[in-house]
């Protein structure tokens, strides 16, 4: 908090008015949801590509098949169904693999899909895997990959277009006796040919709140946001950009984007209930707010979407200490908070789908559980013209796995599968804040009379950090098989980048709830959208 509440509220309203003119596209690797589409269109596109094989460039045809709704309401996820990607490797390419000693191949595919709505653009990656396939003695080889793909949500009215872009194959090679070749794998990068029909356009989906699914968004629409940033330099220096490995081409990480305006984007209300109740009554300085975001899982070369969840915040009084010459002051504030879902200190269950060991589609249902006090500490300086504030959120949180599917087959993990200890970040003040806990950092800046940028406790914004995922414990099947080592080997590890977006907080203790911040029953009106 950098000043009186009224100043922060004016900032939030100004930001909302400026954001209403921008279109919004957000990509999220979510679980399938019920769609309100009026019809389904089938994609069946055969696209020419030029691929770089060991022996040189070869032409290849990539056939993309999927089902998409013809139109959806603004804010409604567009979930592709029945997605498959088939590529035919020409005979010279097959000969290249055979020359490496390969008798069989298994492929993981990555198709970059451009998403455009108005002037807003973003990218999704459609990933898939194939079954092991024997190399033919002569002739071409056809490989068909299937797998889960990200949903796409358009938040403004108008057509949302999907266009095929780069394509890549990660080929795992085996010899006739089933052992790995040397090298054990080959990555083949492909570019869309210049003569691709319609520039590789796959489909268009009409997005809008009207019956015709189209129209022009007006300033009164609630689904507004600045367009997302897929690349760029973060406001924070902490984690380094991932290297040039396959994970970067997949685009499934939570890449560091340019620092967005506070509060993040605004989505239609699909978040869980977020309000005080008899078990957790509001006090004189109570706030509630939604948070959402992405967390990388480095070992799986992917990122898990954490859908919006509720936080109940007890705001501390800001403390001002003026400089001796009264040219400025320092501002400190200590607040506390709790996750809150169905009267428990946790997030709602959420799913993440990855390609375990690069080839096996694996879907985990997870919950983040708070195990101790969660604190929010802000420290800032002001010369009464410019104010900057650094905020650190500290939370002891364990990751619990409640369900697991491997290649579509449920795998029992029991009821006590969780990390042994809290997720752990490096704390800038370890002596003052000992023990394992997640640390997220946000920085806010404001010139007097101008909209703030970055993160403020009241108006929200981006919070980023790195986290170590500890080893797992309690992951035991009904027949006694212990899966702790499997999950630990697959998931646990250091340096997993996290980017969360807090939405505008609702000050529920006010005599009259601010309609720009709160619903009539005291819930946060703004539901943020995760940013990559």
- What are the CA-CA distances from residue 160 to residues 148, 163, 209 (Å)? 20, 10, 14
* Entry field: residues in the chain: 532
Within a 10 A sphere around the Cβ of 421, how many other Cβ atoms?
A: 16
Task: Please write the tens of the pLDDT for every residue from 274-326.
Answer: 999 988 999 999 999 999 999 988 877 778 889 999 999 999 988 888 888 87
Quick: pLDDT tens for 209-263.
544 333 333 323 332 232 322 222 222 322 332 232 322 322 333 333 333 333 3
- What number is the average pLDDT over the span 510-525? 91
Pairing status of strand 453-454 against strand 418-419: unpaired
Position 200 scores a pLDDT of: 93
What is the helix, strand, coil percentage profile of the chain, to 5? 10, 50, 45
- pLDDT at position 29: 23
Residue 133: exposure state from Cβ atoms within 10 A (0-12, 13-18, ≥19) = middle
Q: What is the mean pLDDT of residues 153-175?
A: 86
CATH class for domain 25-207? mainly beta
- Tell me which residue has tokens 């799913």: 351
pLDDT of residue 110: 86
pLDDT in tens, 15-72: 332 222 222 222 222 222 222 334 789 999 999 999 988 888 889 999 999 999 988 8
Q: What is the pLDDT of residue 355?
A: 60
What's the confidence (pLDDT) of residue 363?
Answer: 82
Counting residues of the chain whose pLDDT is more than 90, the rounded percentage is 42
- Mind listing the pLDDT tens digit for each residue in 106-145? 888 889 898 888 877 777 878 888 888 999 999 999 999 9
pTM above 0.85, yes or no: no
pLDDT reported for residue 235: 29
pLDDT at 334: 94
pLDDT, tens digit, for every residue of 320-378?
Answer: 888 888 788 899 999 999 999 998 999 999 887 766 555 567 788 999 999 999 999 99
What pLDDT is recorded for position 271?
86
Rounded CA separation 514/512 (Å): 6
| pLDDT tier, 155 (very low <50, low <70, confident <90, very high otherwise) | low
Write the pLDDT tens digit of every residue in 182-193.
887 788 899 999
Specify the pLDDT at position 258. 31
CA-nearest of 88, 34, 41, 42 to 61 is 88
The DSSP call for residue 198 is G
Sign of CA dihedral 100, 101, 104, 106: negative
Q: Pick the closest to residue 81 from 38, 13, 48, 33 (CA basis).
A: 33
- The whole-chain average pLDDT of the chain stands at 78
Whose CA is closest to 228, among 60, 25, 465, 513?
A: 25
Pairing of strands 77-78, 120-129: unpaired
Structure tokens at 104: 């069989």
Q: Which one has a higher pLDDT value, 74 or 238?
A: 74
Delimit the domains of the chain by residue range. Answer: 25-207, 261-507
**pLDDT of 448 higher than 70:** yes
Contact at 8 Å (CB) between 353 and 298? no
DSSP character at residue 346: B
Output the CA torsion sign for 417, 420, 426, 429. positive
- The distance of Cα 393 from the centroid of its chain, to the nearest Å, equals 19
pLDDT digits (tens, 9 = 90+) for 372-423: 999 999 999 988 888 999 999 999 999 999 988 877 788 888 989 999 999 9
Across 479-491, average pLDDT: 87
Cα 157 to Cα 467: distance, rounded to the nearest angstrom: 38
């Amino acid at each position: 908090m950098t000043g009186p509440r009224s100043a922060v509220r004016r900032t939030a309203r100004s930001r909302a008015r400026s954001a209403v003119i921008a279109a919004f596209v957000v990509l999220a690797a979510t679980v399938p949801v019920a769609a309100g589409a009026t019809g389904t269109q089938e994609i069946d596109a055969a696209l020419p590509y030029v691929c770089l094989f060991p022996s040189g460039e070869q032409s290849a045809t990539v056939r993309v098949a999927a089902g998409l709704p013809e139109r959806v309401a603004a804010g409604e996820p567009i979930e592709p169904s029945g997605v498959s990607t088939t590529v035919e490797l020409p005979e010279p390419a097959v000969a290249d693999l055979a020359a490496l000693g390969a008798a069989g191949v298994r492929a993981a595919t990555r198709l970059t899909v451009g998403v455009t709505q108005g002037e807003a653009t973003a990218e999704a990656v459609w990933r898939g895997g194939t079954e092991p396939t024997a190399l033919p003695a002569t002739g071409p080889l056809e490989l068909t990959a299937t797998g889960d793909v990200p949903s796409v949500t358009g938040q403004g009215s108008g057509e949302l277009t999907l266009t095929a872009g780069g394509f890549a194959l990660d080929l795992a090679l085996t010899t006739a006796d089933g052992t790995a070749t040397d090298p054990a794998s080959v990555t083949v990068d492909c570019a869309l040919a210049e003569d691709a029909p319609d520039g590789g356009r796959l489909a268009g989906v009409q997005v809008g709140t009207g019956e015709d699914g189209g129209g022009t968004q007006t300033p009164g629409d609630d689904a507004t946001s600045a367009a997302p940033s897929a690349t760029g330099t973060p406001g924070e220096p902490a984690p380094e950009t991932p290297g040039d490995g396959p994970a970067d081409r997949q685009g499934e990480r939570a890449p560091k984007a340019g620092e967005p305006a506070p509060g993040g984007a605004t989505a239609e209300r699909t978040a869980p209930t977020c309000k005080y109740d008899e078990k957790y009554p509001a006090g004189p300085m109570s706030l509630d707010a939604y948070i959402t975001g992405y967390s990388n899982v480095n070992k799986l070369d992917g990122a898990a979407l954490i859908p919006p969840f509720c936080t109940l915040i007890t705001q501390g009084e800001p403390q001002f200490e003026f400089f001796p010459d009264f040219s400025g002051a320092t501002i400190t504030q200590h607040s506390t908070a709790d996750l809150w879902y169905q009267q428990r200190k946790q997030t709602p269950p959420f799913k993440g789908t990855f390609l375990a060991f690069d080839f096996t589609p694996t879907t985990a249902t997870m919950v983040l559980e708070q195990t101790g006090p969660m604190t929010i500490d802000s420290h800032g300086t002001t010369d009464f013209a410019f104010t900057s504030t650094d905020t650190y959120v500290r939370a002891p949180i364990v990751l619990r796995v409640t369900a697991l599917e491997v290649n579509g087959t449920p795998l029992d993990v029991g009821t006590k599968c969780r990390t042994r200890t809290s997720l752990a970040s490096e704390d800038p003040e370890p002596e003052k804040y000992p023990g394992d806990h997640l640390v997220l950092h946000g920085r806010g800046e404001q010139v007097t009379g101008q909209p703030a940028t970055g993160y403020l406790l009241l108006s929200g914004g981006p919070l980023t950090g790195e986290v170590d995922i500890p080893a797992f414990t309690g992951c035991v099947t009904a027949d006694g098989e212990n899966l702790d080592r499997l999950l630990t080997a697959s998931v646990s590890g250091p340096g997993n980048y996290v980017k969360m977006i807090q939405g505008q907080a609702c000050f529920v203790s006010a005599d009259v709830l601010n309609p720009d911040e709160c619903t009539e029953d005291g819930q946060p009106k703004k539901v943020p959208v995760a940013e990559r």
